[in-house]
Structure 1
Amino acid sequence: MEIAEVKSLTAVKHGVVLEKTDRAFEALGVLNPAIYQDGNNVHMFYRAAKRGNFSTIGYCRFEGPKTLVERHTEPIFVPEYIYEIHGVEDPRIVKIDNKFYMTYVTYDGINACGALATSKDITSFKKKGIITPRFILNEFTNLIRKHLQTPSIARILAFNTERNYPLTETMKEHLYVWDKNVVLFPKKIDGKFIALHRLFPSIQIFSFEKKTDLTVEFWKDYIKNLPDHIILEPKYDHETSHIGPGAPPIETEDGWLLIYHAAEKREKGLVYHACAALLDLNDPSKVLSRLTKPIITPSEYYERHGYVNYVVFPTGTAIFDDLLYIYYGAADDKIAVASLNLNDLLTELKQNPHEDDIQ
C-alpha cells in the first residue's frame, strides 16, 4: 500500500475494491459510488457505464470497508425520462429521519443537471425530478448581468460558452448551463434541507423546505445573487481548473467535514484530487478551514490509467473505529478506497483556518 503525505497527515491507499465486469451494463467501467454505512455494512450505489458511455446505477454491499459480499447482476436504477436518456450518473446518498435521499446527475447527451430520488427501504427509489436550475445561456447571462465583472461568474460563463458541440442553431437554444455534483447534508438545519452543488468552477450552497420550493422564480432570484451563495472557489495549485462537492458532509464536533474534488490544469490535461474542508455546524455556508494540499492524489497505476487518466474522484465515505474510508472513482473506470485517521484530519484542518477571499 502506498502512503501519500500531506504535511503530517497520511492517507493509506487500499487499492481497487470494485472493477467492471463483462456484463453489458458495466462493461465500460464502474465509478463514482454513493456510500451508505449501516453498522458493519457498506452499501454501494455505483455508476455503471456500458459501451457508448451510457450510464445506470448498480448496487453492491461490503462487510467492513473492503470485503465484497453481494453484487447485483443488473442495475437497480436506470434512465426513464428524456432528460436522462444518456445516463443517470454519479450518485450520492444520505439518510434523513427515516428516508433515504439519493442525488444524481441526469445526462441527455448534451445537458447535465442534478436530480433527486427517495427510498424508504434503500432498495427501490422513486424519482422526484431535477432540482437544479435550468437556464439556457442567454437567460443565465441576463440573470447575472450585474456580476459579469466578478471573476468566478466570468468563469462560469466562459465554461458554458466554450462548450463546443456540432449543433444546429435550433439545438443550441436548448443548451442549458451545466449544474452537477448535488450533495445533501445528512440532516436538516432549522427545518430545511441543505445542499451543495457546482456551477463551474466553484461550490455553491442552497436550502429548501420541500422540493416544490425549487421553482423557476426561486432559481431566478438565486442566480441573480449567485456570488452570495458561493462557499468555496478554486484557490490552490491543485485547483487551477475547478472544484466540486464530493461525499456528503460528515457531522463532527468541530464542524461539517467536506471531502471535495479538485481539478488541476496540466499540460497533458486535468488531474483530479480529493481534498478536505470544514464547514460551520449551524451555518454551513461559513467555511472554517481548508487544507492547502490534497489528501489523495493520483499516483498509483490504477488512478493514472483508465477511461480518463489521472482521476481521483471522491463521492462516498464510511467510518470504522477512528478511520475515515474515502471511496472514489479511479481513472473513471474502477472504484478504489483510501483511509486516514479522522481525528488527525480534523486536527490538521483546524490548523489551516480558511481565509474568505471570495470577491
Structure 2
Amino acid sequence: MELATKHGVVLEKTERSFEELGVLNPAVFQDGNSVHMFYRAAKKGNFSTIGYCRFEGPMTLAERNTEPIFVPEYIYEIHGVEDPRITKIDDLYYLTYVTYDGINACGALAVSKDLKKFKKKGIITPKFILNEFTNLIRKHLENPSIAKILAFNVKRNYPLTETIKENLFVWDKNVVLFPKKINGKFVGLHRLFPSIQIFSFEKKKDLTEDYWKDYLKNLPDYLVMEPKYDHETSHIGPGAPPIETADGWLLIYHAAERREKGLVYHACAAMLDINNPQIVLSRLKIPLITPSEYYERHGYVNYVVFPTGTAIFDDLLYIYYGAADDKIAVASVNLNDLLNELKSNPHESNI
C-alpha cells in the first residue's frame, strides 16, 4: 500500500539559460501559507546554480525569479552549487548545499536573515583523499558497516588515473541540519556512502580538520542508519531536514535500489528519538514514494524520486522532490497516518 498521494509536477525547466537542462532537488521553507523554494537549476553542460520561486499554498506558483539567487563563487564550486536544503534555527536561515568542482562533491553552508541574500560559510564536511581516509578508519575495518563505507569509496575512485586520485576527496553529500539546537549544539546528518551519519558542533569554526580526523577515527560511534531493505540495495542518504513531532524527529530520506538497468531512487521515512536523534525508533519497510509515474521514470536521469523539502498544510505533509533529475514534483501523506504507520514498524534495536 502506497501511503502517499502524488500531485504531479509543480515546477519545470524553462528556456532561460540557467535552467534549460532541468530544475530539481529543492530546498523548501514554509512560512504560513507561503512555500519558499530554492531549487537546483541546471544549464547545458550540467553546471548548477540555485533558483528561487514561491508558492501560495502547497502548489500554486505565485512568483519565480528569472535569474539564479545563488551562484558559484569559489574554485571548489566552479562546476555547480547543488541540492540545497534549508532550515531556520533561532532567527537565522541555514542553507546547506553541495559544492562541485567537476571532480569533488562536498557539503557546504550558507546563512541568511531574509531568504534573499545568503552569506557563504564554506565547506563543512571532511576533506580527505582516499589514502588519508583509509588510514583514519583503518582500525574499524573489521566492522562490516565501516568496511562498506570504504568499499564504496574505493569503487568510486577506480579506475581513475593516479594523478586524479591525488586530488580526489571522499564524497560527502546530503547534509541536513535539524531545525533547532539539541543540548546547545547544532546537529546535522550527512552521508558517507552508503549510510547516514550524525555530527554536532557549537560553531562552524569547530569543524576543523582535527575535528573530522577524530570523528573518522571513531566513525562507528556516529552511524545512524544503514541500507537494509530491498529498495535500499545500493545506498541511503538524508532527504529533507527532520521534522519535529510529538513522537520524535520524522526523517524523510532517499534510498537507491540497485537494478539491472541502473539505480532506482525512492523516498522513505523513519523516526528518530527527539533527545538523541542517533537512535532510530522506527522505519518504514517499504518506500513512501517510488518512481512509477512517467515524469519520475523519464528525464535527465530515469527512475528518480529524490526528496529534499517538506511543508505541512492542515493534516497533510507535502513532500517535494526531484523527479527524474529534471523537474520538481510533490506528493502528500496524512501526517497522522504516517506517524501511526511508523509506530507499527519499530526499529529492530527498539523492539
Q: State the partner residue of 1:271.
A: 264
Q: How does 1:6-21 map to 2 (within 5 A)?
A: 6=2, 10-21=3-14
1:314 alignment partner, one of 307, 313, 331? 307
Matches of 1:243 and 1:170, distance apart in 2: 30
Matches of 1:101 and 1:166, distance apart in 2: 37
Matches of 1:329 and 1:64, distance apart in 2: 19
**Structure 1 residue 155, shift from structure 2 partner:** 2.0
Using the size of structure 1 for normalisation, the TM-score is 0.96
Q: Does 1:199 align with 2:202?
A: no
Contact 2:109 2:120 in 1 (8 A): yes
Q: State the partner residue of 1:130.
A: 123
Amino acid aligned to 2:300: Y
Q: Secondary structure at the match of 2:309?
A: strand
Matches of 2:340 and 2:60, distance apart in 1: 29
Q: State the partner residue of 2:65.
A: 72
Stretches of structure 2 lacking an aligned partner (at least 5 in a row): none
Matches of 1:282 and 1:158, distance apart in 2: 32
Which deviates more, 158-167 or 254-263?
158-167
Q: Secondary structure at the match of 1:170?
A: helix
Amino acid aligned to 1:327: Y
Which deviates more, 142-151 or 269-278?
142-151
Alpha-carbon displacement from aligned partner over 1:224-252 (angstroms, at most 9, x marks no partner): 11111010000000000000000000000
Q: Secondary structure at the match of 1:143?
A: helix
Q: State the partner residue of 2:24.
A: 31
Which deviates more, 208-217 or 158-167?
158-167
**Structure 1 residue 165, shift from structure 2 partner:** 7.1
2:56 alignment partner, one of 57, 63, 81? 63
Matches of 2:20 and 2:152, distance apart in 1: 31
**Structure 1 residue 172, shift from structure 2 partner:** 1.6
Alpha-carbon displacement from aligned partner over 1:167-216 (angstroms, at most 9, x marks no partner): 54333211100000000000001110000000000000000000011111
Q: State the partner residue of 1:103.
A: 96
Alpha-carbon displacement from aligned partner over 1:65-92 (angstroms, at most 9, x marks no partner): 0000100000000000011010000000
Q: State the partner residue of 2:146.
A: 153
Q: Secondary structure at the match of 2:4?
A: strand
Matches of 1:356 and 1:32, distance apart in 2: 32
Q: Secondary structure at the match of 1:74?
A: coil
Contact 2:141 2:147 in 1 (8 A): yes
Q: How does 1:220-299 map to 2 (within 5 A)?
A: 220-299=213-292
Amino acid aligned to 1:328: Y
Contact 2:157 2:165 in 1 (8 A): no
Matches of 1:119 and 1:86, distance apart in 2: 23
Q: State the partner residue of 1:323.
A: 316
Q: Secondary structure at the match of 2:214?
A: helix
**Structure 1 residue 151, shift from structure 2 partner:** 2.0
**Structure 1 residue 144, shift from structure 2 partner:** 0.6
Matches of 2:244 and 2:166, distance apart in 1: 42
Q: State the partner residue of 2:83.
A: 90
Which deviates more, 190-199 or 149-158?
149-158
Alpha-carbon displacement from aligned partner over 1:287-312 (angstroms, at most 9, x marks no partner): 11001000100000000000000000
Q: Secondary structure at the match of 2:348?
A: coil
Q: State the partner residue of 1:178.
A: 171
